[in-house]
Amino acid sequence: MDETITTQASLSNTTSGLTNPQEFAYDPCERPSHDILIISCVCTFISVCGLVGNVVVVWFLGCCMKQNPFTVYVLNLAIADFSLLLILLVNLLLHFIISPEYCISHYVFFMINSILFILFLFCYFAGMYLLTAMSVERCLAALFPLWYRCHRPERLSGILCGVLWTLAALFATLLFVVCFFHESCQQLFYVLSIVNFVLFSFFPFLSNLALFIKLRCGSQRRHPGKLYVTVLLSVTFLFILGFPFSVEAFIAMYYPRSYYISCLLTSLNSSINPFLYFLVGSCRQRRFQCSLKVAFRRLFEEEATREERSQKPGDAMVESSV
């Protein structure tokens, strides 16, 4: 992707783009500079690796194992990350191959950019919301295991995933409508960036980190399990890698190059989860030793095994170590 998601090139000019697309800041006939090409090549490599990793996760969870509440979130998150990376690759293809080679019109270029921008935001919001819901469930399961297992609705994960996908679609549609038919497009994007970062990145990171410290350093020390460690790592990477994307919305008009770095980090954030699943699932007694399929099965089936044990009368909750 190029100036699609920047405030200067995509958001600030959206309101005037339909009537005067020549004002769009990026020239589709111009060859990009060398530094942008290097960043784009790295972004492409990361995105391709992420696509492969997320496809493996979707295939494994969809075809090779029985679903449980945790894997429903993971499956939806992998679909969101896969879609985001695919949109990223399509936009890279548009900007660095199709546009300079065939020199498409500014209007067509701008319209395609706008559509890809909204789809990108839709997948980005959905992934953020799904990861937040997953982290909240892990916190409840770690703090109140008996209450959580007795009162949790059976189909809660599926219902929440549907609600969160719908919420992401509503926000993306709202931004699309406001940007094309109203003058407050830039302000709305600022508000969405702040709200999403605080509620669905910063707050989950702090709460999960505080819970992990409490479980490991409290009076009754116990390990919350591989699943919780995986969620904590995912939330941490979302906070670190997603922060530049949120900040970029405010500084893009002053430092245009900041967009390319934030885009690179966003692709890394959407690609890293499958590798976290493998590393945490294969880690045993501080050694990484097992196949990809075994690592995924060990990680994703842990929750079902622990729930079965916890439901037996008189059994204490068994905590597994990483």
Q: Residue 237: what pLDDT?
A: 92
Average pLDDT per block of 10 residues along the chain, 322 residues long: 40 38 51 77 93 94 83 94 94 72 68 86 94 88 80 87 96 87 76 85 87 73 74 90 72 65 88 92 66 82 57 41 38
pLDDT in the model for residue 74:
94
- CATH assignment, 3-310: 1.20.1070.10
Which two structure tokens, joined as six digits, stand for 67?
A: 């679903």
- The pLDDT value recorded for residue 160 is 94
- Tell me what pLDDT residue 94 has: 79
User: In sequence order, what are the residues at sequence separation of 6 or more whose Cβ sits closer than 8 angstroms to the Cβ of residue 265?
Assistant: 241, 242, 244, 245
Residue 83, class by beta-carbon neighbours within 10 Å (0-12 exposed, 13-18 middle, 19+ buried)? buried
Q: What is the pLDDT of residue 145?
A: 79
What are the structural domain ranges in the chain? 3-310
Q: pLDDT at position 37, please?
A: 81
261: number of Cβ within 10 Å:
15
**Residue 167: its pLDDT value, please?**
95
Query: Residue 21: what pLDDT?
Result: 40
Residue 91 falls in which region: left (phi positive, over 0), alpha (psi -120 to 50) or beta: alpha
